[in-house]
Amino acid sequence: MKVIKNEKSAEIVGLCFGDGSLTRRHSGKNKGKLRFQMRGNITEDREHYDNYIKLLFDEIIAEIPTTRYNGKKPYYGISTESSKICNYLVSLGVPVGIKKELRTPEWILEDKNLMKSFLRGIFDTDGSVFCRKDYNYLEKGYTKIRIMFGSTSENLILSISKILESLEIKHLVIKPYIQKTRNWANLNRIQIDNLNVIKYFNLVGSNNPKHITKFEVWKRFGICPPRTTIEQRYSMLQESAKVLSAGVSEPGQMNTVEVTGQKPYTLVVARVRIPSPAYNIQ
């Protein structure tokens, strides 16, 4: 099968570098056979897997991996021992074995659009979006948005940093987080804050609703409360859209949307207005 190296292939490599693993069985009747797995959160990442990742594999490799989930862990993802899929991933530059030091494939570094797609894949599986408190104005709550990447591979973090520099997205490479659990590798990290988060979404984008809804809630309200579920965030956006369509469009107008769930939230609609183009790059 001919290997296609394009933007969507680069995104698959990024997905694999994030939460994927390509390993070889060491015993049993399938000894020596390759196995590919990728896992995410059973609720927050499910839509991303069902509506995007599986279709992406089908489009590029012409085969859909098996859905795999576990309610006790909990996780949701894909798994396969298909030689067609595993060998294709190897041809794209996905390494076999434990991901100690990952190196971005050279073919991806040859083109800026390929680098964006690769970065999007990593971020959508292994990155996080969240809001922090502004300690100068505690009454405003969780208003300072941040993107965080983490990897045990220092090479990968330095490669991501170079890609971000080429896109002129300001960021910080933070000293490694020292793991407290024995035998766990230290975590190398990259941090992107505030207006540079907007620039990241505009230039790189996301295909994971978990990240998109957090960013959208922050854009709409100027705040994204911690520990919200994806269902709560969808509800916030849907209810606020109803209020906005009724004529609420100026920042600071005292209309509220109450979202119930594990914890009720009441937010001021149209608190901030951040002009930006579409950020979900397909």
pLDDT digits (tens, 9 = 90+) for 174-204: 877 666 666 666 788 999 999 999 999 999 9
- The CATH T-level fold of domain 127-268 is Endonuclease I-creI (3.10.28)
User: Measured in whole angstroms, how far is the alpha carbon of residue 45 from the centre of its chain?
Assistant: 9
pLDDT of residue 240: 74
Looking up tokens 């859209």 gives 241
Q: Is 87 exposed, middle or buried (0-12, 13-18, 19+ CB in 10 A)?
A: middle
pLDDT of residue 37: 94
pLDDT digits (tens, 9 = 90+) for 198-257: 999 999 999 999 999 999 999 988 888 888 999 999 998 988 766 544 444 443 343 444
pLDDT band at 272 (very low <50, low <70, confident <90, very high): very low
pLDDT of residue 141: 77
Superfamily grouping for domain 7-98: Homing endonucleases (3.10.28.10)
pLDDT of residue 247: 42
pLDDT digits (tens, 9 = 90+) for 95-151: 999 888 899 999 999 999 999 999 999 999 999 999 998 777 666 778 899 999 988
Listed in order, the ranges of the chain carrying CATH 3.10.28.10 are 7-98
- Comparing 209 with 26, the larger pLDDT belongs to 209
76, β-bridge pairs: 40, 69
Angstrom distances, CA of residue 87 to CA of 54, 56, 77, 130: 17, 16, 20, 36
263-273 burial, b at 16+ Cβ within 10 Å, e below that, comes to eebebbbbbee
Looking up tokens 């990593």 gives 122
Q: What is the pTM of this model?
A: 0.84
Residues 6+ apart with CB under 8 A from 162: none
117, 10 Cβ separation under 8 angstroms: yes
